[in-house]
């Protein structure tokens, strides 16, 4: 396969190995989901397959088939928990497309009528706000 190889020394690799913390909202054998520290909208979370791949271009289709149902589950939960009008799912591949962390992930972003998104990788959110938002989603998943 052409393109750059996966480098496990990326932020999400470190989160998956427990080397740096995250506000976790969901985990199963194949997938971890946690709050984005620079949310583009309240409740912005990331769904990350545990299997290593740089992005969708080098991912194993078997991994994609497991992660997408989790993206759907979290999109539904985030829409309810944040009383959103809609959900944007975003996934960037390579720097030219806006990717900044090189472990495959899907953004799940609550949206509201007439409200534009905040910038991608913009301002860091307060830790307590992220923790409270994670609890909202966890609570919704429990319903
Ligand atoms: P990408 O541009 O690769 O699609 O998005 C990477 C995302 O990861 C950005 O939305 C950014 O805010 C988020 N991010 C960057 N560093 C961290 C971190 O240390 N922890 C968490 N939870 N999110 C991060």
Q: What is the pLDDT of residue 1?
A: 55
Q: Is the CB of 98 under 6 A from ligand 1?
A: yes
Q: How far is the CA of 121 from the centre of ligand 1 (A)?
A: 7
Question: Is pLDDT at 122 greater than 90 in this prediction?
Answer: no
Per-residue confidence band for 61, with pLDDT thresholds at 50, 70 and 90: very high
In a domain, 4, yes or no: no
User: What DSSP letter does each residue of 8-43 carry, written as one string?
Assistant: S-SHHHHHHTTSS---EEEE-SSEEEEE-SS-SSTT
In a domain, 119, yes or no: yes
Active site residues: 105
% of the chain exceeding 90 in pLDDT: 94
Coil vs helix vs strand at 111: strand
Please give the average per-residue pLDDT across 47-62, as a whole number: 98
In a domain, 53, yes or no: yes
Mean pLDDT of the chain: 96
Looking from the CA of residue 120, the nearest atom of ligand 1 is 10
Give how many domains the chain has, as a whole number.
1
In a domain, 134, yes or no: yes
Q: What is the pLDDT of residue 143?
A: 75
Question: Is pLDDT at 32 greater than 90 in this prediction?
Answer: yes
Query: For residue 92, what are the domain limits?
Result: 11-141
Q: Is the CB of 77 under 6 A from ligand 1?
A: no
What are the angstrom distances between the C-alpha of 80 and each of 8, 74, 105? 34, 10, 22
Q: What is the pLDDT of residue 2?
A: 62
Q: What is the pLDDT of residue 77?
A: 98
Q: How far is the CA of 37 from the centre of ligand 1 (A)?
A: 6
In a domain, 3, yes or no: no
What CA–CA distance (Å, rounded) separates 41 from 83? 12
* CATH number of the domain residue 105 falls in: 3.30.428.10
Pocket-testing residue among 100, 104, 124, 133, ligand 1, by greatest number of atoms within 8 A of Cβ = 100
Q: Is the CB of 64 under 6 A from ligand 1?
A: no
In a domain, 6, yes or no: no
Q: What is the pLDDT of residue 100?
A: 97
Please give the average per-residue pLDDT across 93-121, as a whole number: 96
Q: What is the pLDDT of residue 121?
A: 85
Q: Which of 2-6, 13-17, 40-44, 131-135 has the lowest mean pLDDT?
A: 2-6
In a domain, 1, yes or no: no
């Amino acid at each position: 396969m052409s393109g750059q190889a996966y480098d496990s020394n990326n932020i999400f690799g470190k989160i998956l190995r427990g080397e740096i913390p995250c506000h976790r909202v969901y985990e199963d054998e194949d997938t971890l989901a946690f709050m984005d520290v620079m949310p583009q909208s309240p409740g912005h979370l990331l769904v990350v397959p545990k299997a290593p791949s740089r992005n969708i271009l080098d991912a194993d289709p078997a991994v994609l088939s497991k992660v997408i149902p989790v993206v759907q589950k979290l999109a539904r939960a985030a829409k309810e928990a944040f009383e959103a009008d809609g959900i944007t799912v975003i996934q960037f591949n390579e720097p030219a497309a806006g990717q900044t962390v090189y472990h495959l992930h899907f953004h799940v972003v609550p949206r509201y009528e007439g409200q534009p998104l905040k910038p991608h990788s913009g301002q860091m959110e307060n830790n307590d706000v992220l923790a409270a938002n994670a609890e909202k989603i966890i609570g919704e998943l429990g319903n």
